[in-house]
Each structure stands twice: as structure tokens, then as C-alpha cells.
Amino acid sequence: MQSSSPLILITGSSDGIGLETARQLARHGAEVILHGRRPERVAAAQQSVEALCGRSMPEPVLADLSSLAAASALAAELARRGSYPEVLINNAGVFMKKLELSPDEIELTMAINHFAHFVLTMALLAQPGCRLRRIINVSSIAHNRGRIDLDDLRGRKRRFDSYGLYAASKLANVLFTVELAERLRDTVAVNALHPGVVSTKLLTTGFGMEGPDSVADGAATSVMLALDPEYAAVTGQYFAARRQAPMNPVAHDRALCQAFFAETERIVAAALAAQ
Ligand SMILES: NC(=O)c1ccc[n+]([C@@H]2O[C@H](COP(=O)([O-])OP(=O)(O)OC[C@H]3O[C@@H](n4cnc5c(N)ncnc54)[C@H](OP(=O)(O)O)[C@@H]3O)[C@@H](O)[C@H]2O)c1
């Protein structure tokens, strides 16, 4: 049973939709652990959330999610503090316009949007004190255009295509959601969502466009899935504009979801063993 003021970790809550999600959740009484990679931006975000709700929030966490070791260390840091979130919102994301490899030799969009969140989620779930009841993966409508190549999940072999890699990373969020929901059935609700098209840094500098939706709209579906009792037991679904919506049909291919999960695990294990 989730408490009335649940502890919620939101990745990428120093800016954009993640920050607005933190603000809305704090206003609803949640204890929000903010996360970012740059101390000054996270501190400013924390101040704005606390000023809005008139309460202190838990100490924020810092981690550059381009590194899988950093994603794993983030989970370890929370355990060290005895801080076990009930809700995890995997929100941080990038749209890389040129080819860059992460320290683990993974293309950076795939590394941050998919692999780091896989590592963080699995590390939190493996902790003896784990209290997770809901996991929310912020995907995108772009996942419908994504293509998963199991021979190249790191995104290094294909010709660099910024939109193609972003769409693949967001399809990866949905496949991860479906497979994890199956594995955690009856214990943790796992869902994915499209937040809307919102004029954030990712949209304006990545896609080079403005969006029609407000940042408040962008946060609304995550807030609903995090707090609404009606969704406590809904799992393995995809949402947009606060409603269940159809996901890319490839996500209904159980064999693909299982193979995708296994291949992600294999790449992660190899990368972490090489540290
Ligand atoms: N905006 C849209 O229209 C739209 C549409 C569909 C889906 N989405 C999804 O919504 C989510 C939030 O995006 P947004 O639009 O709010 O973008 P944003 O304003 O650019 O925010 C992205 C967040 O992720 C953090 N982040 C980026 N790289 C990181 C790294 N290496 N390590 C740790 N944190 C990192 C950013 O931190 P910094 O502040 O340090 O950069 C920021 O807090 C993403 O998953 C995105 O794919 C957005």
C-alpha cells in the first residue's frame, strides 16, 4: 500500500517536464527526491520546489546518467541514506544531434534514455529495502517510429540518425515497460507514457521546434500514474494525455520483449564488469 505522502525519485528533475512533475507532486504532498547531473541546477530546482510547497524536500541526488556505473552508484547512494522510493519516474532524456559514445561505448541517446534507466531501475529493485510500488517510464509518441535492432542495441553500427536513435530509445522504454511489468506482476505497477509535445530544452535544441502543450500538461500523466489510486494496479500499459493509448504493436511481441531485456542485461553486465 502506497503512503499518503510517498517518496518519489524523478530522474532529470532539474529542468523541463521532470522539474514540473516534481513541483506538481510536491504540491500534492509527495516527498520528492530530485535528480540532476549539475549541482547548481539541481539546487535551483530544489529551491523552486520547496518555495512552491512551503516544505523541505529530501536531499537531492546527483548522477551523470551517461555512465552506467554512475546510474548504479545513484541507487547505492540512496540505500546508503536508507532512502527507498515507493515511486520511480524515469524521466531524464536527451536528443543527441551528433554521434557521441558514452564511457561504456554506447551511443549517448541510447545510453542515457534506455541503458542508464535500466541499470537504475534494476539496482533499486534488487535492494533488500526496496519499497517500489510504481515505476513510470517517460517514453514518447516517437516510439511508434522506433526500430529495435537486437544486434546493435548500443546504436553504434547503424548509420547515425539522430531521430532514429531517439525513437529507438523511446521504443526501448516501452519494451522495457512491458517486459518488466510481466516480471513484476502483482508487486509493482510499471507503465510508460508520452508526456505531450512541450517546449523544453530537449524539444527546442534537439528537435529544433516548439510544442503546443504546456509544461503542466507534460507533467500531468506522470503525476496521475504516480499518485492516483485508480492506477495502483494497472501495469504494462502506455498512456498519453492521462489516458491509456495504443503502443507500437511490436511491443506485443513477447519473444521480442524478452530477447530485448536479455540483450540489455548482457550489455550492462559486460559494461559494468569492465569498470
Ligand atoms: N519535450 C517534449 O516535447 C517531449 C516529448 C516526448 C517525450 N519527452 C521526454 O520527456 C522527458 C523529459 O524531457 P524534457 O523535454 O523535459 O527535456 P529537458 O527539459 O531537456 O530535461 C531533461 C532532463 O534530463 C536531464 N539530463 C539530460 N542528460 C542527463 C545526463 N547525462 N545525466 C543526468 N541527467 C540528464 C536534464 O538535466 P540538465 O538540466 O542538466 O540538462 C534535465 O533535467 C525525456 O525523457 C524526453 O524524451 C519530451
Q: Is the pLDDT of residue 275 over 90?
A: no
pTM of the predicted protein model: 0.98
Sign of torsion over alpha carbons 263, 264, 265, 266? positive
Q: Is the pLDDT of residue 14 over 60?
A: yes
Regarding the beta carbon of 18 and ligand 1, being less than 6 Å apart is answered yes
CA-closest candidate to residue 213, choices 21, 17, 28, 12? 17
Regarding the beta carbon of 42 and ligand 1, being less than 6 Å apart is answered no
Cβ neighbours for 270, distance < 8 A, ≥ 6 positions apart: none
Query: Is 238 one of the annotated active-site residues of the chain?
Result: no
Tell me the pLDDT band of 260, cut-offs 50, 70 and 90: very high
Mutate-to-test residue for ligand 1 from 17, 120, 207, 222, highest number of ligand atoms within 8 A of CB: 17
List, for residues 246-256, the tens digit of each pLDDT value.
999 999 999 99
CA-closest candidate to residue 78, choices 117, 114, 118, 34? 34
- Residue entry with cell 540518425: 161
Q: Ligand 1 atom closest to Cα of 141? A: 6
pLDDT of amino acid 202: 97
Regarding the beta carbon of 91 and ligand 1, being less than 6 Å apart is answered yes
Tell me the pLDDT band of 158, cut-offs 50, 70 and 90: confident
- Report the top-level CATH class of 7-273: alpha beta
Name which residue leads in pLDDT, 158 or 100.
100
Domain map (residue ranges) of the chain? 7-273
8 Å CB contact between 173 and 141: no
Ligand 1 center–CA 138 separation, angstroms: 10
Q: Please tell me the residue having the least CA distance from ligand 1 atom 44.
A: 93
